[in-house]
C-alpha cells in the first residue's frame, strides 16, 4: 500500500507540469489534486491490476497502469471541488484547508474541476501506449459510465434531491434506506467499482475474476460510505479535514440517522467482511492486500 500510494503521489506531483495551460488554472488544479487524501481509488485500480496479471508481469503492468489509476484520482478530485461549491454542499473546508473556490474563486474552481475530469481521460488513454488498446478502451468505458449521469453525477443529483429528508428521519424507514443506498451506490460506489473492474481489465482478468472484483468493490464502497457517515457524526473538524457534523445540519440521509451508530458500525463490518470474501478465488500478495484493506477500513470506527 505504501509503495503504491507513493507511486501515485510522485506521478500526480509532476503530471500537469508540462501541459500547456494558463498558470492560474494549473495552480487551482494542483491545489486540490496535491492536497493529500487516501488515494484509495488509484491504489484499488493498481492492486486489482496486479492481482489480475501474471506475477512475472506485475511490475510492468503497474507501471503501465499508473496514468490510468491517477486519472481516477483526478476524477475524484474534480468531484470534491464541485461538491464544495456554494450551489452544491457549500463547504468552505476540504482536507484541512480552504476549499478550492475559497482559495481561488468560484469560476476558477468550476473550471479547475472541468479541466481535471477532462484531462483525466487523456491520462487514462495513455495506458494504451503499453497495454493492449482493446483493454484500455473497455476500461475507459467502465470509468466513463461510473463518472457520468448513470454513476457519480447521478448520485450527486440524488444527494441534492434528498437533502433535508434527514432533518426528522424515521428510524429504519425502508423507503429512506432504499433512497440512501441508491444514492450512495452511485455517488461513491460507482467509482470504486470502476477502479476495481478497470484495474482488473488492464491486468487481463477473466470474466469470473471481474465479477468477483465488482462484488468486492460494491461491498467495499458501501462499507466506506457507512464509515464516512459515522466519522462525520463522531469526529471533529480537525481530524476530518472538513466540517464535522455538516451532514446532520443539512439534513442529509446517513446510516447513523436512519439506523443508529451501533447498527451502522455492525453493517460496516458486515460489508467489509463481504468484500474480503468476494475475493476468495484470487491469490497472490495484491489480492491479500485488497482483502486486508477492506478489513482495515472499518478499524477507523472502533
Confidence check: pLDDT of 176 > 80? yes
CA distances (Å), origin 160, targets 1, 112, 131, 248, 251: 34, 22, 39, 14, 11
How many CB atoms within 10 Å of residue 274? Answer: 17
Average pLDDT over residues 63-84: 97
Confidence check: pLDDT of 73 > 70? yes
CA distances (Å), origin 128, targets 125, 132, 191, 204: 6, 6, 20, 13
How does residue 241 score in pLDDT terms, banded at 50, 70 and 90? low
CA distances (Å), origin 74, targets 32, 105, 217: 9, 20, 19
Question: Alpha-carbon distance 126 to 29, whole Å?
Answer: 20
Average pLDDT over residues 44-69: 97
- Please, what is the end-to-end C-alpha distance for the chain in angstroms? 22
**pLDDT of the residue at 243:** 67
Q: What are phi and psi of 21, to 5 degrees?
A: -165, 165
Supply the range of the domain harboring residue 61: 2-301
Of 279, 265, 280, 273, residue with least CA distance to 294: 273
Residue 220 burial (C-beta neighbours within 10 Å; 0-12, 13-18, 19+): buried
CA 214 to chain centre: 14
Of 242, 294, 282, 301, residue with least CA distance to 49: 282
pLDDT digits (tens, 9 = 90+) for 125-140: 999 999 999 999 999 9
How does residue 239 score in pLDDT terms, banded at 50, 70 and 90? low
CATH code, 36? 1.10.600.10
The pTM score is 0.94
Question: Alpha-carbon distance 249 to 242, whole Å?
Answer: 14
Question: Alpha-carbon distance 126 to 26, whole Å?
Answer: 20
Average pLDDT over residues 285-293: 96
Confidence check: pLDDT of 189 > 80? yes
Domain count, the chain: 1
pLDDT digits (tens, 9 = 90+) for 130-169: 999 999 999 999 999 999 999 999 999 999 999 888 887 7
CA Rg value for the chain: 19
How does residue 302 score in pLDDT terms, banded at 50, 70 and 90? low
**pLDDT of the residue at 166:** 81
**pLDDT of the residue at 299:** 83
Amino acid at each position: 500500500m505504501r509503495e503504491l500510494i507513493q507511486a501515485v503521489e510522485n506521478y500526480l506531483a509532476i503530471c500537469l507540469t508540462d501541459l500547456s495551460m494558463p498558470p492560474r488554472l494549473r495552480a487551482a488544479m494542483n491545489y486540490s489534486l496535491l492536497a493529500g487524501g487516501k488515494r484509495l481509488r488509484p491504489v484499488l485500480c493498481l492492486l486489482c491490476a496486479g492481482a489480475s496479471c501474471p506475477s512475472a508481469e506485475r511490475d510492468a503492468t503497474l507501471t503501465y497502469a499508473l496514468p490510468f489509476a491517477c486519472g481516477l484520482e483526478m476524477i475524484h478530485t474534480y468531484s470534491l471541488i464541485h461538491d464544495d461549491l456554494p450551489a452544491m454542499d457549500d463547504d468552505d473546508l476540504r482536507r484541512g484547508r480552504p476549499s478550492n473556490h475559497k482559495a481561488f474563486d468560484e469560476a476558477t474552481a468550476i473550471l479547475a474541476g472541468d479541466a481535471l475530469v477532462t484531462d483525466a481521460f487523456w491520462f487514462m488513454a495513455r495506458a494504451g501506449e503499453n497495454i493492449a488498446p482493446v483493454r484500455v478502451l473497455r476500461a475507459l468505458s467502465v470509468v466513463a459510465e461510473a463518472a457520468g449521469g448513470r454513476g457519480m453525477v447521478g448520485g450527486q443529483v440524488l444527494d441534492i434531491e434528498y437533502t433535508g429528508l434527514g432533518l426528522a428521519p424515521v428510524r429504519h424507514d425502508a423507503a429512506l434506506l432504499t433512497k440512501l443506498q441508491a444514492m450512495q451506490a452511485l455517488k461513491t460506489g460507482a467509482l470504486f467499482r470502476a477502479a476495481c473492474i478497470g484495474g482488473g481489465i488492464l491486468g487481463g482478468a477473466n470474466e469470473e475474476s471481474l465479477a468477483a472484483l465488482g462484488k468486492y468493490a460494491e461491498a467495499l464502497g458501501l462499507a466506506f460510505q457507512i464509515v464516512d457517515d459515522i466519522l462525520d457524526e463522531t469526529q471533529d473538524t480537525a481530524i476530518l479535514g472538513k466540517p464535522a457534523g455538516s451532514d446532520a445540519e443539512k439534513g442529509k440521509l446517513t446510516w447513523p440517522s436512519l439506523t443508529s451508530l451501533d447498527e451502522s458500525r455492525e453493517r460496516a463490518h458486515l460489508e467489509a467482511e463481504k468484500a474480503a470474501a468476494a475475493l476468495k478465488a484470487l491469490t497472490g500478495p495484491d489480492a491479500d492486500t485488497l482483502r486486508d484493506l477492506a478489513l482495515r477500513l472499518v478499524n477507523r470506527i472502533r
